[in-house]
Amino acid sequence: MGAYVVAALVSLVLGATGLFGKLLAAVPKPITAGVLAGVLLPFAMRVAPAVA
Q: Which pLDDT belongs to residue 2?
A: 92
E strands, 1-52, are: none
Is the pLDDT assigned to residue 50 strictly greater than 90? no
Question: Between 1 and 48, where is the model more confident?
Answer: 48
* Dist CA 47 CA 7 (whole Å): 33
Q: Which pLDDT belongs to residue 51?
A: 81
pLDDT tens, residue by residue, 3-41: 999 999 999 999 999 998 898 899 999 999 999 999 999
DSSP 3-state assignment of 52?
coil
Q: Which pLDDT belongs to residue 49?
A: 85
